Chain A
């Protein structure tokens, strides 16, 4: 699109030019300037004119959070492997530099080539959370791209949202041109093909012509091609296509056979400090545990495992290319891989004695998990173990389908303390459907029992347990999508009671740490996650009032959001409470009903009813199918082992090149 009609020749000549000379003058004046310079090991920078399709990928948070993101790293590499396309990255800019850039008229830039984001053909944003929406508006505005999609012309990039939050992109439908649901690898290749062909054909139909080509595939959602009609009471009446060629429902993408997609092959090694100073290998995608609150588990079905050999090759190759000293085996519930015991033992054997640490972020509550942790930390350090019972009472855990008994938990932590772990972290949620004060107060009892068991098992009083509590936010495409969110005042009162109960305990209170946040940010997240198109005006108003970095407590302002909502929804018959603390009925049209996550809505409703009846269901990885609908509708299936392969395929080699490590340890 950077090639169309009303651009002058000199404008064209400037496309893709670096703005670094102008940016450099500002860098001495801001905090942590290194986050804006790029230059990471394994970064790719291609000449602008060598390719036909230019992508800029954004993780809409600070560099330190965004740079380690696997999704962006995978797409960056997949696109850059093509000869006809390039991808560069951009991240949210802190307010100090934003102010200077506006003054000096320096546009939002990529960290790779320091090219203006407005020069690119396609602007992809990965939303892990709705709290990145305002950062998107800052980037568009700094990039001189009109905030409203309908005001963009052929000289502007096509703005495409992806990531988990894109499963309900309606609140940002004013600002994006398209959204992609599900796995991005094949989707970006498809979009790249269609964009290249459209450009080669002379850009028929202009911007809308390309969007129509994308929408016609049935797997790319273009909000402009759908109209929303409302009932007098504010609920949605229906969502209908306004173009004959686009489908009524848009499907999500599902990548099968993870072994053929071993990305990232060359993970980025940032020069600046980031939140995860390690390499990650995704060992499977999807989860079938069926925790009813968990959007990630619901929208990423079915389970697709990477093979034991595929994992070993990625670890080996990644370490060689990066020099990292820690490898995280990632997934939604890593201990659930069908061959995890063999994987852990073999990797631990292979890297024993090298400086390579292995970690398994996992929330599964059973002794098996402790065995794995012991295996992986063989000879290394033992800091803490985290388990996630999620619900404080047995009843609550049935409601959310987290099938862990108190007995399981005590047995697990006893094993952990006996094996030498001294610190156990327990993760819970507050504000779950049907929850009472009593359910949350049971967290205190559980924590006491954990300390008691730990002291008995070790004969030592040097035992600690940290209770971490998050506020529950109902999410689209889950059985709890119909649920009322708990208001923030009740959330806060309940947490205060829990805190008092723990502190009042003379025998155990000092051994129990408690960490939680107040309920207000959850209400804004809830508004954004289950909102509809009317919420776009709220986001815009909040951003205009200064909302940025809403995931950071020092930048977040509840009052600013509420004031923005009051004004933006003044003419509507709906308000923040209507979107958040209101329970929905079965017949209500939900804003995301025209977006197909593969889950059968009838199944979701039945599971919601089962939750209310406190009935749990099993994991279809191990037990027969429960007809959630994903495999039928998407023509997919679960992909799990055993593969029959138990040993790593490669000969023993030094874990990594010694000298490469120096580069990863500035300031060490």
Chain B
């Protein structure tokens, strides 16, 4: 484990794009600085053992370049809307996509901030779930970041979509944006590739 220099050294850990409080996630990424070369599999097992059930370390790779965070270009969000039908959500989603820009407001540490919640939305799809409609959105990471509740705010503004119960939100993936397929790729691909190449 590497530590920062200075009067009060801190361990070198950085969390990129952490999901908002109250949101489930299948894809959070963290960079940890170490003082010596470590076996990624051993690090994965040790971290997993120290974390509570439900916080699972899925994969650890050795970073090959310092630009990892830049590869987290977009997220796929799954928003379950209990008590809502596919049709009404589909209509609202189309209305949102038809807009060029939808300004929403959010209370931040520095007061209320207004920003566009439509622009970063790359694609939206709707499918039926059990007792709910499931909305999937691919959202580009922007500043300020557009979060699932901002997308819901935008849906409410353009289509009056008001969920009757609190939505359940899960981040399914983060990674480089694939503009053609409107989806996100594996952010580890770059770090894995040289290893795979070395083996063959």
Is there an interface contact between B47 and A668, defined as CB atoms closer than 8 Å?
Answer: no
Is there an interface contact between B46 and A660, defined as CB atoms closer than 8 Å?
Answer: yes
Partner of A659, one of B1, B10, B53, B55: B1
Residues on B with beta carbons closer than 8 Å to the beta carbon of A465? none
| Residue from A39, A355, A663, A666 with most neighbouring chain B CB atoms (10 Å) | A663
Known: A659-B1, A659-B47. A355 touches B9 (CB 8 A): yes
Partner of A33, one of B3, B22, B55: B22
Is there an interface contact between B22 and A27, defined as CB atoms closer than 8 Å?
Answer: yes
Known: A28-B166, A665-B13. A271 touches B52 (CB 8 A): yes
A235 CA to B22 CA, complexed, in Å = 55
Residues of A in contact with B, size category: 20 to 34
Check A43 for interface membership: any CB of B closer than 8 A: yes
> How would residues 29 to 46 of chain B score, 1 for a CB under 8 Å from any chain A CB and 0 otherwise?
010101100100001001
**Which A650-668 residues sit within 8 Å CB-CB of chain B?**
657-663, 665-668
Residues on A with beta carbons closer than 8 Å to the beta carbon of B8? 381
Which residue of chain A is the closest to B1 with respect to CB atoms? A658
Check B163 for interface membership: any CB of A closer than 8 A: no
Partner of A665, one of B11, B46, B53, B55: B11
A473 CA to B71 CA, complexed, in Å = 60
Distance to closest chain B CB from A97 (angstroms):
13
> How would residues 1 to 25 of chain B score, 1 for a CB under 8 Å from any chain A CB and 0 otherwise?
1010001111101010000011000
Known: A33-B21, A355-B3. A667 touches B50 (CB 8 A): no
A323 CA to B35 CA, complexed, in Å = 16
A657 CA to B22 CA, complexed, in Å = 31
**Which A303-358 residues sit within 8 Å CB-CB of chain B?**
323, 355
Is there an interface contact between B1 and A668, defined as CB atoms closer than 8 Å?
Answer: no
A663 CA to B13 CA, complexed, in Å = 10
Residues on B with beta carbons closer than 8 Å to the beta carbon of A25? 166
A41 CA to B47 CA, complexed, in Å = 11
Check B66 for interface membership: any CB of A closer than 8 A: no
A661 CA to B33 CA, complexed, in Å = 11
Check B198 for interface membership: any CB of A closer than 8 A: no
**Which A621-658 residues sit within 8 Å CB-CB of chain B?**
657-658
A663 CA to B21 CA, complexed, in Å = 18
Is there an interface contact between B7 and A661, defined as CB atoms closer than 8 Å?
Answer: no
Known: A355-B9, A662-B32. A657 touches B52 (CB 8 A): no
Is there an interface contact between A39 and B54, defined as CB atoms closer than 8 Å?
Answer: yes
Is there an interface contact between B34 and A663, defined as CB atoms closer than 8 Å?
Answer: no
Is there an interface contact between B13 and A668, defined as CB atoms closer than 8 Å?
Answer: yes
Which residue of chain A is the closest to B167 with respect to CB atoms? A28
Distance to closest chain B CB from A63 (angstroms):
15
Which residue of chain A is the closest to B149 with respect to CB atoms? A28
> How would residues 54 to 68 of chain B score, 1 for a CB under 8 Å from any chain A CB and 0 otherwise?
110000000000000
Residues on A with beta carbons closer than 8 Å to the beta carbon of B51? 41, 663
Which residue of chain A is the closest to B32 with respect to CB atoms? A662
Partner of A657, one of B10, B13, B46: B46
Which residue of chain B is the closest to A32 with respect to CB atoms? B21
Residues on A with beta carbons closer than 8 Å to the beta carbon of B10? 665, 668
Binding site for A on B (CB under 8 A): 1, 3, 7-11, 13, 15, 21-22, 30, 32, 34-35, 38, 43, 46-47, 50-55, 166
20 pairs, CB–CB < 8 Å, chain A vs chain B: A28-B22, A28-B166, A33-B21, A33-B22, A39-B52, A43-B52, A269-B50, A355-B11, A657-B46, A658-B1, A658-B35, A659-B32, A659-B38, A662-B13, A662-B32, A662-B47, A662-B50, A663-B50, A665-B10, A665-B13
Q: Which 5 A-B pairs have the closest CB atoms?
A: A39-B52, A28-B22, A658-B1, A663-B50, A659-B46
